[in-house]
Structure 1
Amino acid sequence: MSAKPSAPHISLSDFPVPFPKSSELCSKLTVTTGGYGVELESTVPGESWLPGQPAVPLSSCANAIMPYLRKDLMTPRLDKMFPYLWLVATQSSSHISALHEQRVRGREVIIAENPELHLVWADNRVFIKPLPPYLLSHAFWQAYLTPMPITTPAVAKTPLLIPGITTQEDQEDILRSALGFMRTYYYLIRHESDFRLAQDLHILPASPLTFAAFVAFISHFSPDGAGSSKPVSVTDDFVSPRYRFGQLRLTRLNLWAKPALGQWKFHKLSWQYAETFARLYPPLLFAFALISIVLSAFQVGAQAAPQWETFAAVAAWFAVAALTVVGVVGVTMLSLLVCMVAREFVFAMCVE
Structure 2
Amino acid sequence: MLSPPFSQANSLRPPGQAALVPLLVRHDSGLLNPMKDAAQTLEVELSTPRLDKMAKWLWLAGLPRPARPLHRQLQLQRSIHLTESVDEHLIWHESSIFIKPVPEYLLNFEFWTSRICGDVALYKCACGLLFSYAWLVGHKSDFRIAQNTGIIPDDISWGQWTDFMRDFIARVQPRLTHHISNRYTYGELRLSRLNTLYRFTTPISARKLVIGFMSTSNRRKIFFKQHFGWFLAAFAYISVILSAMQVGLGTDALQNSAQFQNVSYGVSLSAIYVVIISIAFIVIVWFGLFWFHLLSTLGLTKSVNYKHFVV
| Partner of residue 159, structure 2 | 212
Partner secondary structure for residue 53 of structure 1: coil
Q: Distance in 2 between matches of 1:237 and 1:328?
A: 53
Native 8 Å contact 1:183 1:234 kept in 2: no
Whether the aligned pair in 2 keeps the contact of 1:49 and 1:55 (CA below 8 Å) is no
Alpha carbons 2:5, 2:168 under 8 Å: kept: yes
Distance 1:145 1:324, change over 3 A: same
Pick one of 133, 143, 159 that aligns with 1:195. Answer: 143
SS of residue matched to 1:235: helix
Q: Where do residues 246-257 of structure 1 align in structure 2 (5 Å cutoff)? A: 246-257=187-198
Say if 2:226 is the partner of 1:279: yes
Asked if the contact 1:16–1:232 (Cα under 8 Å) also holds between the matched residues in 2, the reply is no
1:249 partner amino acid: R
- Following superposition, the deviation at residue 298 of structure 1 comes to 1.3
Whether 1:80 and 2:53 are equivalent positions in the alignment is: yes
| 1:93-113 deviation per Cα after TM superposition (whole angstroms, max 9, x unaligned) | x1x011111111111111100
* Closer, same or farther: CA 141–109 of 1 in aligned 2, 3 Å: same
Cα contact 1:119–1:247 (8 A) shared by 2: yes
Match of 1:349, SS state, is helix
- Residue in 2 that maps onto 1:141: 112
Q: Once the 2 structures are TM-superposed, how far is the Cα of residue 231 of structure 1 from its aligned partner?
A: 6.9
Tell me the equivalent position of 1:297: 244
Contact 1:179 1:234 in 2 (8 A): no
> So what's the TM-score if we normalise by structure 2?
0.86
1:348 corresponding residue in structure 2? 297
Superposition deviation, residue 333 in structure 1: 1.0
Identity %: 28
State whether residues 10 and 163 of structure 2, in contact with CA within 8 Å, keep that contact through their aligned partners in structure 1: yes
User: SS at the partner of 1:127?
Assistant: strand
Runs ≥4 in structure 1, deviation > 6 angstroms?
none
8 Å Cα contact 1:110-1:126 kept in structure 2 = yes
Write the deviation string for residues 321-346 of structure 1: whole angstroms up to 9, x where unpaired: 00111111101111111111111111
Pick closer, same or farther for the CA change 1:50–1:232 going to 2, 3 Å. Answer: farther
Partners of 2:43 and 2:123 lie apart in 1 by: 10
Q: Deviations over 1:214-246 (max 9, x none)?
A: 011123343xxx4xxx47636133222211111
Q: CA deviation at 1:299?
A: 1.5
Q: 1:175 matched to which residue of 2?
A: 123
Provide the C-alpha distance between the structure 1 equivalents of 2:24 and 2:288, rounded to a whole number of angstroms. Answer: 39
Distance 2:228 2:64 in 1: 33
- Code of the aligned partner of 2:150: H
| Residue of structure 2 equivalent to 1:318 | 267
Report if aligned partners of 2:124, 2:178 keep a CA contact under 8 Å in 1.
no
Q: 1:213 to 1:67 in 2, by over 3 A?
A: same
**Letter of the 2:263 counterpart:** V
1:308 is aligned to 2:295: no
| Shift in Å, 1:350 | 1.1
Mapped to 1, the partners of 2:74 and 2:186 lie a distance apart of 21
- Provide the residue aligned with 1:152 in structure 2: none
Please list every run of 5 or more consecutive structure 1 residues that lacks an aligned counterpart in the other structure: 1-13, 30-41, 43-47, 57-61, 148-170
Q: What is the count of residue pairs matched by the alignment? A: 284
Q: Do the aligned partners of 1:16 and 1:231 also contact (CA within 8 Å) in 2?
A: no
Q: Label 1:280 to 1:85 Cα distance change in 2 as closer, same or farther (>3 A).
A: closer
1:328 paired to 2:277 = yes
- Distance change in 2, residues 1:73/1:318 (3 Å): same
Shift of 1:64: 2.6
1:89 & 1:288 partners in 2: Cα distance?
Answer: 32
State whether structure 2 residue 69 is matched by structure 1 residue 98: yes
Counterpart secondary structure, 2:80:
strand
1:52–1:134 Cα contact (<8 Å) kept: yes
Aligned equivalents of 1:125 and 1:326: distance in 2? 34
User: What runs of 5+ residues in structure 2 fail to find an aligned partner?
Assistant: 26-34, 305-311
The 1-side partners of 2:260 and 2:173 are apart by 73
Q: Distance in 2 between matches of 1:248 and 1:231?
A: 23
Residue identity opposite 1:341 in structure 2: F
Distance 1:194 1:307 in 2: 70
In structure 2, distance between residues paired with 1:278 and 1:249: 18
Question: Structure 1's 283 and 232: CA in aligned 2 closer, same or farther, altered over 3 A?
Answer: closer
